[in-house]
Every structure is written in structure tokens, then in C-alpha cells.
Amino acid sequence: MGTTSVRVVSLLPSATEIVLALGAGESLVGVSHSCDHPGVAHLPRLTRTRVPKGATSGEINAVVRDCLGKGESLYTIDVDALGALEPDLIITQGLCEVCAVSGREVRGALGGIQLAPRVLSSEPQTLVQVLESIVEIGSALGKDTEAAALVASLQRRVEAVCVRTALLSHHPRVAFLEWLDPPMCGGHWNPELVAMAGGADGIGKPGLASRTIRWDDVVAWQPEVLCVACCGYPADQTRRELDPFLRRPELASLPCIRTGRVHVFDGVALFARPGPGIVDSLEQLSLVLAR
């Protein structure tokens, strides 16, 4: 079994979940404001967001556009607290400037304190790369054996889904949305998950970022199944915001509306976090597409 004495700060919920899944939770000394795993509830929070609590998707979009338009970050880092923790390793991301603190921002913050920890920036865009990031984090923690075992376990579960999918006689047209106001299609690994689960996503592009679309794009695709997992939203919040959109006249005739095949997922733990929970997401998606 590998051991670790490295002091780790994780500024990414998926990385925190990976560290815990590898049995290295004792190495964590600080996390981000959005790291919500019960195993890190006692740790100091080193980031804050400018997004108001309880904001709607439209309000969040306005804050994001305002910050990005000004060249400002959505997040602040508690540099003094970070310095006091004296981490050896900081794990963050470079995939999405909206989702979490970026590696660039972390390096900028480190310029103000006398520390030179390793900054590991996790940037997976596909399922394979998610699994590779687990190996990379495991190596940084001295947990190579544990990482290999975790990845092998996740791969077996993925293969089990693909075996079931191969038996399906019909692969429904799926519209997968990551945001509602404005609508945004699934990006990165999510179109890939749709295909693995047995669906056909004609809007999202595997390996590419989520992008803003129009409701007309959804109408043109005529989805037989609508799946919605708003990034960072619990299912009940997404459902409340989705209901008014489903009453729009142009959507009423969609096959998914007529048959009631509209599925809302938790966008906090599922689909948005490139860690072990990605396979949970795939399994849940496969269940609704097989109905």
C-alpha cells in the first residue's frame, strides 16, 4: 500500500473526491468553498465565489458575463490562509474559468507568499482523460497502486454499461442540457456518456466545451429524451427552473414532452465533476435511456 505525507490543498470538488477515494484524506489540509464531501467538512475553505447564494441560472449567467467582460475572476483565494497551511501540492483546474479557481489564478496568488508548492491542474475533457487524471493525482500522492485499482474498478463498471447498451434495439435522440437560461448543451465527457448509455446526442460534441444554444436547436433535434443536469444545481432547483420552459408553445410538441421522458439529475455530484462520480452519472443515465 502506498503512503503519503504530502500536504494537499484541493480547490476542485472532483479532486477532493479523488483524494478521498484513494484513501489519502489525511493529506488534505484545505479545500475550496464548493468541496462538499462530508469527509472534508472540518477543513478550512480557501476560496469564495461572487455568485449570490440562491441565484437563478439567468442571474448567475449575468454575473458570469459581467466578471468575464471585466477580465475578473468569479472567485477569490484566501492567500493568507493558504500560506499558513504551507501545502506541498495544490490541485486545481484549467478546464473552465466559470466552474472553479484556475491554475493561473493559483499561481498568481502564490506570487504574494513565500511558497512554491507544486500546482497540479486537472483538465480532462473525455472519460478516458478523467480516468487518467485519477492516475496522475494518485502518482502525486504516492498512491499509484490505489489509483490503478480505482481506475480498474471504474472501467469494469463502464464496460458493464456498454455491454447492456449493445443489446438495445433503439437508441433514442437525446437532448442533454447543462444550463437553462440561456440553454447550454452538454460538453466535454457528457455527449460521450450519452452515447455510452445508449442515446444519440445531436447537439453536444464529445470532447468539446459546453456551448450556448437556442431552444430552436432543441426543437430541430426533436429529442425523444430530454436530460437536464444544471452544473452546480441540485435536482429540485433545476426542476423548478425547468418547468416554465417546458410550457413554452414551441416545446410542447416535442416527442420527449408528449411521452413524459424528461429527466432531471443532480448537477452537483453528477455529470459536472470529472472524478469517480462520472461513472455514477453514466449508470444513472443508462437507466433512464433504457426505459
Whether residue 117 is predicted with pLDDT greater than 50 in this model: the reply is yes
- 1, pLDDT greater than 50: no
Domains of the chain, residue spans: 8-123, 169-289
pTM of structure = 0.90
Q: In the predicted model, what is the mean pLDDT of the chain?
A: 91
More confident residue, 222 or 115: 222
Q: What is the pLDDT of residue 15?
A: 95
190-197 helix and 127-140 helix, angle to the nearest 10 degrees: 120
Given this structure, which CATH class describes domain 8-123?
alpha beta
What pLDDT digit, counting tens, does each position of 135-188 carry?
A: 999 999 999 999 999 999 999 999 999 999 999 999 999 999 999 999 999 999
> Fold identical between 8-123 and 169-289?
yes
- Residues 138/144, Cβ–Cβ less than 8 Å: yes
Please state the length of the chain: 291
CATH number for the domain running over 169-289: 3.40.50.1980
Average pLDDT (90-98) is 75
Burial zone of 188 (CB within 10 Å; 0-12 exposed, 13-18 middle, 19+ buried):
buried
Question: Can you give the pLDDT at residue 100?
Answer: 61
